[in-house]
Structure 1
Amino acid sequence: MTRSVWLKADDTVGDWETRRERITAGLEAGVDVVLVDAKDVDRVRELGQVTVAAFVGDDVHVMDNDDDDYGEPDIRVVGKGGEGDATVELPSDFSGSADLTTLRRGNADASYVRILDQDYETFAQEAATEADYTVVIGEDWQIIPLENLIARIGDETELVTGVRNAEEARTAFETLELGADAVLLDSGDVGTIRDVVDVRDASEREQLDLEYATVTAVEETGSADRVCVDTGSMFDHDEGMLVGSMSRGLFFVHAETAESPYVASRPFRVNAGAVHAYARTPGGGTKYLAELGSGDEVQIVATDGSTREAIVGRAKIEKRPMFRVEAETENGDRIETLLQNAETIKVATEEGRTAVTELEAGDEILIYYEDTARHFGEEVDESIIEK
């Protein structure tokens, strides 16, 4: 499931200057959708590229009024100033609902409902049968109504739940294990916006089970075309990439974050090995190091198995002397890779950060192992021999 963050920036949050500052903070943080009033659609698009959702009224022709000359939003939301936010009383018979009629006629894509009581929860469920997105705002409620909505309408619509901070966003994404599809953040605080985006990213990232393998050989092999992967991100000291000659067994190679007497640190770089090797990418895929170029996405991995994404800025390919490193996994499988013969290339062993030039047979080296075959970087259910 792909999670998303919506940012509320309609006229209830303040004047245009206040709204503009909030929207700008959201764009810089990486929110997915900005929810505004119809009059602000074009203004938002002038600030940057983002999906724009806008409130429309129960008058289904409001967006077609030439006098208003409003831009067309990507997502039309009904409910503000209507039944959804209790401006208009809920009808006893939902067949007479103006909000639902707008959805049924295809003049809105999303419903906006404040969950004031059980009746509004039922109304949200009814709206979800017609809406691509159902935005629900809790009033003094936490988990139970959200659990009900996820269980009852989770497959019918994209459920967007209102939150005010990162902790509420985390709860929304984790409720009933499935969680909400998105959150609508009502905050103009720059730190809070960034924190909620971080929660979104963390909810989608893999947690890998790394293990140790026993080094069985470290041999000089002569020169090969070596790839340095220079990313657009700064690595932490315990981070690197997973690379290897066999896709089933990838070695953890540290980023060049450590200072050296011979060369300055390059905390955006991983000296990843020879051109033939696989590098792990987000979502469980792999790419050959030779394929990587500016704009590609690679997976950053920490020694505890946590992951995040980085964009490749460039890949530097140069001929360098190499080591062949071979290791045996716990189940007796042999895996290997080629790494440059240089003291600045570090791997992770049970003893800690270790230069490949100091690596010896018998050392325990950190790897990621999965007993699967790959074709064009994707897992396949067939027998492939790599040696």
Structure 2
Amino acid sequence: MINTSSGVKGKDVQITKEVAVPQDFETAETISRRSSVRLANIRKSSESKRTANDSQLVWFDSAQLASKRPDDGIFVRVINSLYTGIVLYMDNLAELLPAVPSRMHVVLRLRNAAEIKAFRESSPSLVEDFRKGAAARNRSVALSDAEALAELGLDGLLTCFTSYVDDRDSLLGAIDQGLRFNYLWILFRDPTNIPLELVIASLQSTSTVLMKEIKASTDVDDAIVSYGVMEYGAEGVIFSPRDHGVMSEFLARMSQAQSYASLNIQVGTVIESRPAGMGYRACIDAATLFEPDEGMLVGSTSQGGVLCCPEVYFLPYMELRPFRVNAGAVHSYVFNTDNRTDYMSELKAGSPIMLVNSKGRVRRAAVGRMKIEQRPLRLIEVEFSGKERVNVLMQDDWHVRIFSDAAKPLNISELKPGDKILGYVTEPGRHVGIKINETIIEK
């Protein structure tokens, strides 16, 4: 049992930890219904749905709440966190809608003809609220009946088509019907992301916003991964944890993914470059491919580092390694997201790392492999405009490079005082990779 009172005054919310039950999706029935899917080429829309939605969408389905009251612990967390929308129903609308902040998108899910009738015959102010909300894009109605939903759309409402996909026909039907509406809500039966890939490919150039419902309320991994399927990902997910621990994990991982602020990459001047003898250096092989102006920040001190160049440029006698940065000696700091650092020697397969381009744009990747070998080393010392000095020890070879001030590769064996390079400076002082305020001298 988890006893928590997050966001609730004066009482505790008792919630039992859920355990996902694995399902066998390879059965005689599913095998007999299996068939390949051929997609149609859909004309591109003039409206950019990604521009209209300046952040990743996250909706919560209120059907998963333990109570229909606005003081429900999970509900309080949803409306005070990064969730961008909430799904309400006719039987909890009156109770919950007044508590939903104006920034959130409200989706009214109608489940049958009786609920459609009840909505149409409800107070004029409610129906008008949903019409006006359509203009502000913060109100919509959801329904699995495409024709009835189209009629609501004719009344000036934003519309969301709900669908369940378990085979080829239901997949194609969901795409075909979903194109008629503002949102397409899909729940997939099977754990594979292949049908999601097919929907993303079909809808990418359209104005229909894709929302994937996460089948298990405990599956944080599926919720996070859905944003990156085929690199483009779904516009949003509908993830509705009933457990506070699961909710905390999801919010933390989403916040982490969204909080990579750009870094202030600066131009520094080389003041010394000389051989430093033998030592162990590491190549960081990332589980991604570097862009031509992208690299990693590495330095010998917590004051800062230089922007090390990946092996994406011509090398004589060998093929390119566009996943690799020949990064420096094993004692080095590797600068990471959230103002953290890692020692080079600590990194291993699966470790998160930060990639930075010449403009300071940040993205995250994982280490695929660390390759540590003994090589001749070269000391490079750089001074920045504020008189900050950083240095790095790297393999002393022509094919190892750092970025020039023009974001071009500089061979470190040819570096000389006065050369301009790209780097990063910050306040010194680290303890187990975390920034701390202390008096420290590093040299």
Q: TM-score, normalised by structure 1?
A: 0.58
- Displacement of 1:372 in angstroms is 3.3
Contact 2:298-2:328 at 8 Å conserved across structures: yes
Equivalences for residues 131-280 of structure 1 within 5 A: 136-137=106-107, 139=130, 141=133, 186=185, 189-191=199-201, 192=204, 194=229, 195=232, 203-280=258-335
- Displacement of 1:124 in angstroms is 2.3
Q: Secondary structure at the match of 1:267?
A: strand
Aligned length, in residue pairs: 263
Q: 1:70 aligns to what?
A: none
Contact 2:293-2:358 at 8 Å conserved across structures: yes
Q: 1:54 to 1:197 in 2, by over 3 A?
A: closer
Matched residues in 1 for 2:264 and 2:347: separation? 25
Q: Which runs of 5+ in 2 are unaligned?
A: 1-29, 38-55, 79-85, 109-129, 140-157, 161-182, 187-195, 205-209, 211-228, 237-253
Contact 1:326-1:334 at 8 Å conserved across structures: yes
Contact 1:278-1:288 at 8 Å conserved across structures: yes
Q: 1:377 aligns to what?
A: 433
Matched residues in 2 for 1:106 and 1:304: separation? 40
Q: Which runs of 5+ in 1 are unaligned?
A: 1-15, 22-31, 36-52, 57-75, 79-97, 129-133, 148-161, 165-183
Return the letter of the residue paired with 1:137.
V
Identity of aligned residues (%): 28
Matched residues in 1 for 2:419 and 2:77: separation? 59
Return the letter of the residue paired with 2:99.
E
Matched, 1:126 2:136: no
Matched, 1:350 2:415: no
Matched residues in 2 for 1:204 and 1:105: separation? 25
Contact 2:69-2:96 at 8 Å conserved across structures: no
Matched residues in 2 for 1:366 and 1:163: separation? 49
- Displacement of 1:350 in angstroms is 2.3
Farther-moved stretch of structure 1 (185-194 vs 369-378): 185-194
- Displacement of 1:329 in angstroms is 1.4
Q: Residues 309-352 of structure 1: CA distance to partner in whole angstroms, max 9, x if unpaired?
A: 11111111100011100011111122111011112211111252
Matched residues in 1 for 2:235 and 2:409: separation? 28
Contact 1:226-1:319 at 8 Å conserved across structures: yes
Matched, 1:100 2:52: no
Structure 2 counterpart of 1:362, from 404, 414, 418: 418
Q: Residues 178-226 of structure 1: CA distance to partner in whole angstroms, max 9, x if unpaired?
A: xxxxxx9736631446535589897432211100111000001111100
Return the letter of the residue paired with 1:126.
A
Matched residues in 1 for 2:272 and 2:296: separation? 21
Matched residues in 2 for 1:373 and 1:127: separation? 43
- Displacement of 1:256 in angstroms is 0.8
Return the letter of the residue paired with 1:386.
E
Return the letter of the residue paired with 2:349.
S
Contact 2:65-2:72 at 8 Å conserved across structures: no
Q: 1:313 aligns to what?
A: 368
Q: 1:158 aligns to what?
A: none
Q: 1:112 aligns to what?
A: 87
Return the letter of the residue paired with 1:379.
K
Q: Secondary structure at the match of 1:383?
A: coil
Q: Secondary structure at the match of 1:283?
A: coil
Q: 1:83 aligns to what?
A: none
Q: 1:316 to 1:198 in 2, by over 3 A?
A: farther
Q: 1:154 aligns to what?
A: none
